[in-house]
Structures are given as C-alpha cells and as structure tokens.
C-alpha cells in the first residue's frame, strides 16, 4: 500500500480501471452532483448507516435480488430533490448505448444518494435531471476535482453547535493498491460531526470555538456536557462510492460497502448519527480476476474512504453566500494557528 501524507494527494477513484467521474457544480447557491460511471457495468453493493438517508434504486443492489450490475452511481446535493439528477444520468447513458440489454433497448441502472445542503444559499436552486446529464457529459478517467465541486459544492461539516460555528466540507478522492489490485473512493462529506485525522484523532475541520479560529472538538465537548444545537433531522449526511478493479460477487460488493464505513468512523466523529444519512456504494469492474482476499480488500476500502474524507475538507475552500453565511475552511484555521 503506497504512502499518503495528510496534506498530499492520495490517488483517485479513477485509478480503478473502468471508472469515470464527472461533476456538475451550480454556482448560484452553490450545489451540484457527482457521477461515477462504469460504462461496461459493475457489480454493485450498498450499505446505509445514517438514520436519515435519501436514496434511489438501492433495493436492486441486495445480494438476493436479480440485477447483477449497474452502470453509474449518482451523488447529489439538494436533499430529496437532488435524486432527480439520476434521471439525467439515465438519459445520457442511454444516448451513449450504456445499459442493461432488455431486448428492445438498453436500460441504464443508476442508484443514487443525496445529502442535505439546503441551508447554504437559495434552497430553490438544486440539482435536477439537466445537472445529472451535465455531470455525465463531463466525466473522464482523469483524477476528479476535489473540494467545493459537484455533490460537495454546498457541503458543510461541524454543525453540532449551530451552522454559525461550522466549516466548509466538500468532495475528496483517494485510492490504495495492494498486490496489483486497486480500491478507490469518492466521498462527499457533509457531516454533522468533525472530520478528524484518522491516525491521530485530531480534528481537522468541524465545529469552531467561540473565537471562530480554533476547533471546539465536538467529541470532547459533548462528553463534557455541552448540549448540541437543536438539529433538523437529516440535514447533514456523508455519501460516497468505493470502486475496485477486483472481481467481486454481489455479496462481496455489499460487504466491501460495509467495511468502507469503518473509514468514515475513523475520519468523522461523531458519525452515523440520527441527523446523518451516511450511505456508501461499491462498484466492482472486474478488470483484475484475482484479489488478495476480502480481509485485505476490506482494509483497503476503509483506508481509501478515510483518506478521501480527509481530502474532502483539506481541498475545501472558504465559502461566503449572498445571504451572509460565512464558512471557513481547514486552510483558514491552519493560517491562524
């Protein structure tokens, strides 16, 4: 497994053969969506750990159900409205001959998950089918942009003590390779909790103290008895995609999604709360027929997710909205330290 320092690039999900990524970012709010495409189809799985998810077509990914492969995963802002972005992806994929052969044509299968970013700017601006179509049109095999783009454009972290003390979240990506097999992740981090260094537990971005320049450390604050700000259920959520070129069954793909949440647990604290809809998908393109076993793959998935989550806040940039909301980024706090 290659080394990856905290502040360096850590690879990308597009290091996995057969994977493309595209973002659409709407600067009016901001908000957006991110798509992970597997044109040749990919065995897929999903695991939902947050208590307030917003998803589409996740039932078909259950190991006991018929469909073996999907063709893209859509991640979007906009809460439930953002699920419409998947419709645009379906249209784009059909136009490009991608989908399940159903005899009379090809049916693209595009599961999706959304995060809640409606408190950032004008909530009436949200991803729609046109946004999903545009994200697909922008998809490439190149390492995707990180930070304030796509599904992470309106993402915020550290909201436990109110939005006025929060910081900018975003999109991050990473990959790890062992024995010729690659596992990558794309994460849109909009957690209610803090994002922490998975090796030390030190907060990197999250709820700020009263001075606005230092981090409160949400875990310690809660354990010391500081009451959380009243939270709107489901107004957060971290969503993402894990991809590997290893050949997996649907059962194995689902287990890899489960293991990926270990990476969220290492890099977000608290995580999987009643106010989050944390959801991770897995895609297996099968370009590499062998793999080092599920124990190693699960470790790789957790590592890729943790690194991508950290990248999401390290790559984020300060956001100020027309409504007066100011969300500093990790770099702002680093400069002030």
3-state secondary structure 70-86: EEEEEEECCHHHHHHHH
Two tokens, residue 54: 């917003």
Q: What is the pLDDT of residue 235?
A: 82
* Within a domain: 4: no
User: In residues, how long is the chain?
Assistant: 337
| Residue stretches of the chain with pLDDT short of 70 | 1-9, 233-234, 334-337
* Within a domain: 8: no
Alpha-carbon span 208 to 219, nearest angstrom:
12
Q: What is the pLDDT of residue 5?
A: 57
* Within a domain: 332: yes
Q: What is the pLDDT of residue 311?
A: 98
Are the C-beta atoms of residues 245 and 182 closer than 8 Å to each other?
yes
Are the C-beta atoms of residues 165 and 213 closer than 8 Å to each other?
no
Domain that holds residue 320: 13-336
Cβ-based neighbour number of residue 224 at 10 Å: 8
Q: What is the pLDDT of residue 322?
A: 87
Buried/exposed code over 11-44 (b: 16+ C-beta within 10 A; e: otherwise): bbbbbbebbbbbbbbbeebbbbbbbbbbbebbbb
* Within a domain: 5: no
CA 332 vs CA 64, 146, 162, 187: distances in Å = 48, 17, 19, 22
Over the stretch 150-202, which tens digit does the pLDDT of each residue have? 999 999 999 999 999 999 999 999 999 999 999 999 999 999 999 999 999 99
* Within a domain: 120: yes
Alpha-carbon span 234 to 80, nearest angstrom:
10
Under DSSP, is residue 261 helix (H, G, I), strand (E, B) or coil? helix
> Which H or E element spans position 243?
strand 238-246
Place of tokens 């659409």: 24
Q: What is the pLDDT of residue 6?
A: 57
Two tokens, residue 111: 């599961």
- Number of structural domains (the chain) is 1
Q: What is the pLDDT of residue 213?
A: 86
Q: What is the pLDDT of residue 323?
A: 86
Q: What is the pLDDT of residue 3?
A: 52
Q: What is the pLDDT of residue 333?
A: 87
* Within a domain: 2: no
Alpha-carbon span 16 to 108, nearest angstrom:
21
Widest CA span of the chain, in angstroms? 63
Two tokens, residue 109: 């299968």
Q: What is the pLDDT of residue 7?
A: 54
SS3 annotation, 282-305? EEEEEEECCCCCHHHHHHHHHHHH
* Within a domain: 6: no
Q: What is the CATH number of the domain that holds 53?
A: 3.60.70.12
């Amino acid at each position: 497994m290659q080394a990856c320092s905290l502040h360096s690039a850590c690879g990308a999900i597009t290091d996995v053969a057969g994977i493309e990524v595209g973002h659409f970012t709407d600067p009016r709010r901001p908000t957006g969506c991110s798509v992970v495409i597997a044109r040749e189809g990919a065995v897929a799985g999903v695991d939902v750990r947050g208590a307030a998810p917003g998803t589409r077509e996740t039932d078909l990914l259950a190991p006991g159900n018929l469909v073996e492969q999907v063709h893209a995963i859509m991640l979007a802002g906009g809460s439930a409205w953002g699920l419409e972005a998947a419709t645009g992806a379906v249209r784009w994929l059909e136009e490009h001959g991608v989908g399940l052969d159903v005899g009379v044509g090809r049916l693209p299968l595009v599961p999706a998950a959304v995060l809640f970013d409606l408190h950032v700017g004008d909530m009436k601006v949200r991803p729609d089918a046109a946004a999903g179509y545009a994200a697909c049109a922008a998809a490439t095999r190149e390492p995707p942009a990180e930070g304030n783009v796509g599904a992470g454009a309106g993402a915020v972290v550290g909201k436990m003590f109110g939005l006025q003390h929060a910081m900018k979240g975003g999109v991050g990506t990473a990959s790890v390779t062992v024995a010729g097999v690659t596992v990558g992740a794309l994460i849109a981090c909009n957690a209610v909790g803090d994002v922490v260094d998975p090796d030390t537990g030190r907060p990197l971005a999250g709820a700020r103290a009263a001075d606005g320049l230092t981090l409160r450390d949400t875990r310690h604050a809660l354990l010391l008895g500081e009451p959380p700000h009243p939270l709107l259920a489901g107004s957060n959520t971290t969503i993402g995609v894990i991809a590997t070129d290893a050949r997996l069954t649907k059962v194995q793909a689902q287990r890899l999604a489960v293991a990926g949440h270990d990476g969220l647990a290492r890099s977000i604290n608290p995580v999987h709360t009643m106010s989050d809809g944390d959801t991770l998908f897995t895609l297996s393109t099968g370009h590499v027929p062998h793999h080092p076993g599920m124990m190693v793959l699960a470790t790789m998935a957790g590592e890729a997710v943790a690194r991508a989550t950290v990248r999401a806040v390290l790559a984020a940039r300060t956001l100020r909205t027309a409504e007066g909301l100011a969300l500093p980024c990790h770099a702002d706090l680093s400069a002030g330290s």
